[in-house]
Amino acid sequence: MNSATEHAADTPRIYSLKNVNRVFGKGKDELQVLCGVDLSLHEGEIVGMLGRSGSGKSTLLRIIAGLIQPSSGDVLYNGAPLNGPAEGVAMVFQTFALFPWLTVLENVEAGLQALQVERKESRRRALAAIDLIGLDGFENAYPRELSGGMRQRVGFARGLVVNPTLLLMDEPFSALDVLTAETLRTDLLDLWSGKQLPIKSILIVTHNIEEAVLMCDRILVLSSNPGRVVAEIKVPFAHPRNRLAPTFRQMVDDIYALMTDRRSADVKGIPELKMGSLLPQVSTNLMAGLIETLAAEPYNGHAGLPTVAERRLLEVDDLFPVAEMLEHLGFAELKGADITLTDAGKLFADYGTQERKTLFAEHLIRHVPLAARIHQVLLERSGHRAPRVRFEQELEDSMTEAFVEKTLESVVAWGRYAEIFSYDDHTETFSLDDVEGSM
Ligand code: ADP
Ligand code: MG
């Protein structure tokens, strides 16, 4: 079924975004997440959006769904400017946001609540969606009785029950195990190819290149910092696609190279961390592991990121945040698709455990303003303690609560490793207790 690709450009345009920008935060903490995004979605196509974590994919989906507004630019839905939540657009999320106290049937019906469909009709449509998506017989089960794959099917059914024009999917398979994810992808493609779905177009966000090449007619590649569309790739293969076909492999490799080439993927390079920057969830173990890998044979301090990813069996999405954090901390430099250890990075590799901690502590305080702030506040306070809320409040000026949570989690883990402060989960207090040499 190749027709979707060929006809896509000629079929009616469902969405068109022109020069869409989105900024979060204010003043010195301002962060431009999306920059000059142009895209269109046509009837009859599955479009993929590939980009690294933090590149603004979810933000873009929320703009398309009308849940948030762009800072500037135009969003046209069926030719008219979009104001508020878009009717006929359904969203499927990565984690199965199901109501635990409702049955499968009730969860699917919940998708219709906002539409005020009459009760009998609502039930009929929910049962049809359940049937379509292969949940027959599970109508009265509760989410806790279902496997991850079945729960995500409920998520799909809840999206489909509204008979959407456009289905938006935000990494819908990434929380599933490999086999379950593949089954769901295939089932969805079968329904789509067999024209059993009422949907006119699907936009699927993913950081998995193979998934995009397997499912999509067209792939948009989003860069990071800020997110812009840096490439558009037509996928000409007929369904069902063969992952092992040389042309398939070649396309995956080409996209991989494109995404790891920072000359095209990153316009500005890596911005310095600020007090209000969201800190990535990268463990010190992963950072140390990458430094060790790079320092050792055959790399001797210098390597191409795609090669490292391949050898370590990592997804681009897992490797990049680690590499970027090493750059932020001054342990490595990224240039093009290459990563090179700095002198500090080489020292780290040579050092033993305690020396590593000391070196890491120095770099953490120098390059991560939040870590420096916490350390400084603790030094200045009598008793050398400060409640978590002290920093939460400061961060909440520039970030939403969920981001504050993640950011503090990261800085706590790094600070503990570096032994620049400790943190008590029960009392939610930072302190210099048991911290040696820093007082
Ligand atoms: P992706 O889905 O590609 O991982 P997101 O769209 O979730 O990316 O986030 C892109 C960037 O925007 C991130 O740096 C994130 O910190 C920032 N961001 C997203 N939503 C908000 C928000 N509500 N407040 C502040 N920053 C945000
Ligand atoms: Mg996202």
Q: Which of ligand 1's atoms lies nearest the C-alpha of 205? A: 2
Find the angle CA(88)-CA(91)-CA(97) to the nearest 5 degrees.
Answer: 135
CB 139 within 8 A of CB 103: yes
pLDDT, residue 174, reads 83
**Greater model confidence, 186 or 97:** 186
- Cα separation of 344 and 332, whole Å? 8
From the CA of 339, how far away is ligand 2's center (Å)? 25
Provide mean pLDDT across the span 266-274.
Answer: 65
Q: Which residues surround the ion ligand 2 when the cut-off is CB under 5 Å?
A: 57-58
- Which tens digits make up the pLDDT trace of 102-111? 999 999 998 8
Gyration radius of the chain over CA positions: 24
With DSSP H G I counted as helix, E B as strand and the rest as coil, what are the percentages for the chain, rounded to 5? 45, 20, 35
Judge whether residue 5 has pLDDT over 50: no
CB 185 within 8 A of CB 179: no
pLDDT, residue 3, reads 41
Is the minimum distance from the CB of 33 to ligand 1 under 6 angstroms?
Answer: yes
Residue 317: pLDDT band (50, 70, 90) is: low
Q: Name the residue of 67, 220, 403 to mutate for ligand 1: max ligand atoms within 8 A of Cβ.
A: 403
Q: Which of ligand 1's atoms lies nearest the C-alpha of 25? A: 25
- Cα separation of 333 and 351, whole Å? 20
- Which tens digits make up the pLDDT trace of 120-153? 999 999 999 999 888 999 999 999 999 988 999 9
Judge whether residue 7 has pLDDT over 60: no
pLDDT, residue 269, reads 56
Q: Would you give the end-to-end CA distance of the chain in angstroms?
A: 68
pLDDT, residue 262, reads 55
What's the mean pLDDT when you consider all of the chain?
A: 88
CB 364 within 8 A of CB 420: yes
- Indicate the DSSP class of residue 227: B
Is the minimum distance from the CB of 226 to ligand 1 under 6 angstroms?
Answer: no
- 100's CB contacts (< 8 A; 6+ apart) are 142, 143, 144
Give the ranges where 342-433 is alpha helix by DSSP (H). Answer: 343-350, 353-367, 369-380, 388-396, 401-418
- Which tens digits make up the pLDDT trace of 60-88? 999 999 999 999 999 999 999 998 889 89
Provide mean pLDDT across the span 326-336.
Answer: 90
pTM: 0.69
Provide mean pLDDT across the span 349-368.
Answer: 93
Atom 10 in ligand 1: residue holding the nearest Cα: 56
- In the CATH scheme, what is the code of domain 4-259? 3.40.50.300
Judge whether residue 321 has pLDDT over 90: no
Lowest mean pLDDT: which of 88-102, 252-266, 295-309, 346-360?
A: 252-266
For 64, the token pair is 């398309």
Judge whether residue 31 has pLDDT over 80: yes
Q: Which of ligand 1's atoms lies nearest the C-alpha of 59? A: 6
Is the minimum distance from the CB of 24 to ligand 1 under 6 angstroms?
Answer: yes
From the CA of 362, how far away is ligand 1's center (Å)? 28
- Which tens digits make up the pLDDT trace of 180-228? 888 899 999 999 998 888 899 999 999 888 899 999 999 999 988 889 9
- Cα separation of 253 and 272, whole Å? 30
Is the minimum distance from the CB of 404 to ligand 1 under 6 angstroms?
Answer: no
From the CA of 225, how far away is ligand 1's center (Å)? 11
From the CA of 61, how far away is ligand 2's center (Å)? 9
Residue matched to tokens 């390597």: 303
Residue 114: pLDDT band (50, 70, 90) is: confident
For 430, the token pair is 């930072």
Residue 95: pLDDT band (50, 70, 90) is: confident
pLDDT, residue 8, reads 52
Q: Which of ligand 1's atoms lies nearest the C-alpha of 222? A: 3
Is the minimum distance from the CB of 53 to ligand 1 under 6 angstroms?
Answer: yes
Atom 18 in ligand 1: residue holding the nearest Cα: 24
